[in-house]
Amino acid sequence: MDRFSWSNGLLEINETLVIQQRGVRLYDGDDKAKLDVGVALLSTHRLIWRDVKNHECCIAMPLSQIIFFEEQAAGIGKSAKIVIHLYPVPANKEPGPYQHSKYPYIKLSFKEHGQIEFYRRLTEEMTQKRWESTSLSQPIPTGTSPQVGRKTHAVGIIGIERKIEQKRKETDKNISEAFEDLSKLMVKAKEMVELSRSIANKIKDKQGDITEDETIRFKSYLLSMGIADPVTRETHGSGTHYHLQLAKQLGDMLQAPLELLSPEDLVNACKMFESLKLPLRLRVFDSGVMVVQLQSHSEEEMIASALDNVSDKGSLTAEEFAKLLGLSVLLSKERLLLAEKMGHLCRDDSVEGLRFYPNLF
Amino acid sequence: MSFEWPWQHSFPPFFTLQPNVDTRQKQLAAWCSLALTYCRHHKLYTLDVMEAQESPMFNNKKIERKLSMEAIQVVFEELRKKGNLEWLDKNKSRCLVMWRRPEEWGKLIYQWVSKNGMVNTVFTLYELSNGDDTEGEEFHGLEDWMLLRSLQALQAEGKAEIITMDDGKGVKFF
């Protein structure tokens, strides 16, 4: 509870109210806070709580204080709660109801329900992090406040200084975001961590040369964990540049394992084959199946050979065709279907299975 | 004379509704033709769909293939669109098969009438379909409902008029 600061409860410029819920009691960790039941308000920037009876008793906490949160189901005689785990108190925090707390988390107890919607909205705001794109400046009145509105906008030197500060914070955030998930994997992925640290430092300090290999490895690590890599994308060109490099690598050594490559990147890289004049093509079948094949495989050749094989044997199933050609069943079926689509084959579908014949119709 | 099956009837894919549109068109055309010639050969004028599924026409036991109910309905719908089939009930369980369309019958009948100089004569329906004079004609033995349709077709062309008489219907040709 020591993360909260006294507040007048007024929404600031760029801050929007998302949801409010009555009947909320605050808990400092597991202990009931020395406050009554009040109204909890969630805005794009802060979590605000106001005493119902005494409107002047109002506290607020920036959403950036929240590490994560979870639901606590209601029990017998106990209301449902949302438990919010918090970062340590920042040094410049304004005074609030608690000087100090032994707990790194608080709870919101919903005595009049509403926890489901509140939780949902909180999740949304914590995902979107709208407070990062719009800094708070002078306050403006909300509907609940009787105060008069004030003119607010950042002008002059103050405005410029604020913008610079904002940009700096954003850059910091981007870098740390790229490592958010990484922190959980640190224990397991030693090499990954060392490499990423080294590169991040180089980028930040603009020191030394980052090798191409390092860059690709680094990006592939991040992407394999599903992290967008704003840092590296910005400094090393657009995503497609990365895909280009990847495509080149793929073209060279198709068999060599590329560790932790996301399927999306593989597909994007494969789409570059033609423009890179590589002897490979990405082919998409009607069913959505995608295959990488040698350029020499023109469609006509495939169909002609399929027709030959089928005519030769009278009829073929996908499995028989696969065996004949030494291909996977999936691929051989796609070929047969293609030949059927072109009108060269027709099908016999019975309890015995699916069989293809030359189209004698 | 035994019925001559078309080559498709021994071709397994014939019994699978083809997904390729062009192939399907050819397939359905072959089925329609087979259905009509089969019915004509056996002088079948009506079909019960359930029975049809088991008949040698739709069920070739030799190659162990038979047309699914869905496919049969597709074939019948094709026949209906071409004017060779008419449903007798809403459930589509029984149908009339007109391996010759009423217009075609009407033409044959009119040809016979005019060839024998019997224009402006009144005939009873029975005389036409079962009379000694018509013995040997293709329309001899034609079922009443079909005969009536054929005469109605001629009537629409202004070549005949159907008359109601005391003991049934008759027709006058112009």
Question: Quick one: pLDDT at residue A183?
Answer: 58
- Find where tokens 């640290």 sit: A197
CB–CB of B23 and A350 under 8 A? no
Contact A311/B at CB under 8 A: no
Residue A154, C-beta contacts closer than 8 angstroms, at least 6 positions apart: A137, A162, A163
Same domain, B82 and B141: no
Is B144 among the domain residues? yes
Question: Please, are residues A86 and A106 in contact by the beta-carbon 8 Å criterion?
Answer: yes
Question: Quick one: pLDDT at residue A18?
Answer: 92
Question: Please, are residues A281 and A266 in contact by the beta-carbon 8 Å criterion?
Answer: no
pLDDT tens track for A286-311: 888 888 877 656 777 788 888 888 99
Q: Based on the number of CB atoms within 10 Å of its own CB, is A253 exposed (0-12), middle (13-18) or buried (19 or more)?
A: exposed
- Report the range of poorest mean pLDDT among A15-19, A112-116, A259-263, B120-124: A259-263
Chain A contact set for B20 (CB, 8 A): 340-341, 343, 346, 359
Q: Report residue A246 as tokens.
A: 């990847």
Q: Chain B: nearest CA to A322, how far in angstroms?
A: 21
Q: Chain A: nearest CA to B75, how far in angstroms?
A: 16
- Report the range of poorest mean pLDDT among A40-54, A147-161, A203-217: A147-161
Contact A338/B at CB under 8 A: no
Q: Report residue A58 as tokens.
A: 């109002």
Residue A53, C-beta contacts closer than 8 angstroms, at least 6 positions apart: A36
Question: Quick one: pLDDT at residue B78?
Answer: 95
Mutate to test the interface with B, among A313, A342, A350, A351 (most CBs of B within 10 A): A350
What is the distance between the alpha carbons of residues A234 and A336, in angstroms, rounded to a whole number?
46
Is B2 among the domain residues? no
Domain end: B74, B97, B120, which one?
A: B97
Same domain, B135 and B79: no
Query: Residue B91 is part of which domain span?
Result: 7-97
Question: Please, are residues B74 and B28 in contact by the beta-carbon 8 Å criterion?
Answer: yes
Mutate to test the interface with A, among B9, B11, B14, B20 (most CBs of A within 10 A): B20
Residue A279 — φ and ψ, nearest 5°? Answer: -80, 35
Diameter over CA atoms, chain B: 57
Q: Return the percentage of chain B with pLDDT > 90, whole number.
A: 63
Is B1 among the domain residues? no
Same domain, B91 and B120: no
Question: Please, are residues B87 and B95 in contact by the beta-carbon 8 Å criterion?
Answer: yes
What is the distance between the alpha carbons of residues A211 and A90, in angstroms, rounded to a whole number?
38
Same domain, B18 and B52: yes
What is the distance between the alpha carbons of residues B122 and B168, in angstroms, rounded to a whole number?
13
Same domain, B147 and B114: yes
Band of pLDDT at residue B55, cut at 50, 70 and 90: very high
Same domain, B81 and B149: no
Q: Give ipTM to 2 decimals.
A: 0.80
pLDDT higher than 50, residue A237: no
Band of pLDDT at residue B168, cut at 50, 70 and 90: confident
Band of pLDDT at residue A231, cut at 50, 70 and 90: very low
Same domain, B56 and B106: no
Same domain, B127 and B159: yes
Q: Report residue A333 as tokens.
A: 């079926």
Residue A143, C-beta contacts closer than 8 angstroms, at least 6 positions apart: none
Three-class DSSP category at B101: coil
Question: Quick one: pLDDT at residue A107?
Answer: 94
Question: Quick one: pLDDT at residue A357?
Answer: 94
Is B90 among the domain residues? yes
Q: Where residue B157 sits, what CATH number does that domain have?
A: 1.10.10.10
Question: Quick one: pLDDT at residue B20?
Answer: 94
Chain B contact set for A348 (CB, 8 A): 12-13, 15-16, 65
- Find where tokens 């020499």 sit: A296
| Average pLDDT rounded to a whole number, residues A33-56 | 91
Residue A166 — φ and ψ, nearest 5°? Answer: -60, -45
In Å, what is the CA distance from A260 to each residue of A33, A217, A220, A299?
Answer: 48, 9, 6, 32
Contact B82/A at CB under 8 A: no
Q: Chain A: nearest CA to B48, how far in angstroms?
A: 24
CB–CB of B13 and A343 under 8 A? no
Question: Please, are residues A85 and A67 in contact by the beta-carbon 8 Å criterion?
Answer: yes
DSSP assignment letter at A81: E
Band of pLDDT at residue A142, cut at 50, 70 and 90: very low
Q: Where residue B88 sits, what CATH number does that domain have?
A: 1.10.10.570
Instruction: Output the average pLDDT for chain B.
Output: 91
- Report the range of poorest mean pLDDT among A220-224, B35-39, B84-88, B160-164: A220-224
pLDDT tens track for A24-42: 999 999 999 989 899 999 9
Same domain, B149 and B84: no
Instruction: Output the average pLDDT for chain A.
Output: 78
A235 compared with A174, residue with greater pLDDT: A174
Question: Quick one: pLDDT at residue A241?
Answer: 64
pLDDT higher than 90, residue B166: no
In Å, what is the CA distance from A266 to each residue of A103, A258, A274, B152?
Answer: 46, 10, 15, 71
A75 compared with A150, residue with greater pLDDT: A75
Is B56 among the domain residues? yes
Dihedral (CA of B137, B138, B140, B145) sign: negative
Chain B contact set for A315 (CB, 8 A): 12
Same domain, B85 and B139: no
**What's the number of domains chain B is made of?**
2
Same domain, B24 and B87: yes
Is B33 among the domain residues? yes
pTM of the model: 0.46
Same domain, B109 and B83: no
Question: Quick one: pLDDT at residue A56?
Answer: 87
CB–CB of B20 and A355 under 8 A? no
Is B59 among the domain residues? yes
Q: Chain A: nearest CA to B20, how far in angstroms?
A: 6
- Report the range of poorest mean pLDDT among A34-38, A268-272, B40-44: A268-272
What is the distance between the alpha carbons of residues A318 and A324, in angstroms, rounded to a whole number?
10
Chain B contact set for A349 (CB, 8 A): 16
pLDDT tens track for A77-91: 889 999 999 998 888
Residue A13, C-beta contacts closer than 8 angstroms, at least 6 positions apart: A136, A137, A138, A139, A140, A152, A153
pLDDT tens track for B79-113: 999 989 999 999 999 999 998 888 999 999 999 99
Chain B contact set for A357 (CB, 8 A): 11-13
Three-class DSSP category at A121: helix
Domain end: B72, B97, B122, which one?
A: B97
What is the distance between the alpha carbons of residues A185 and A42, in angstroms, rounded to a whole number?
32
What is the distance between the alpha carbons of residues B150 and B108, in angstroms, rounded to a whole number?
10
Is B25 among the domain residues? yes
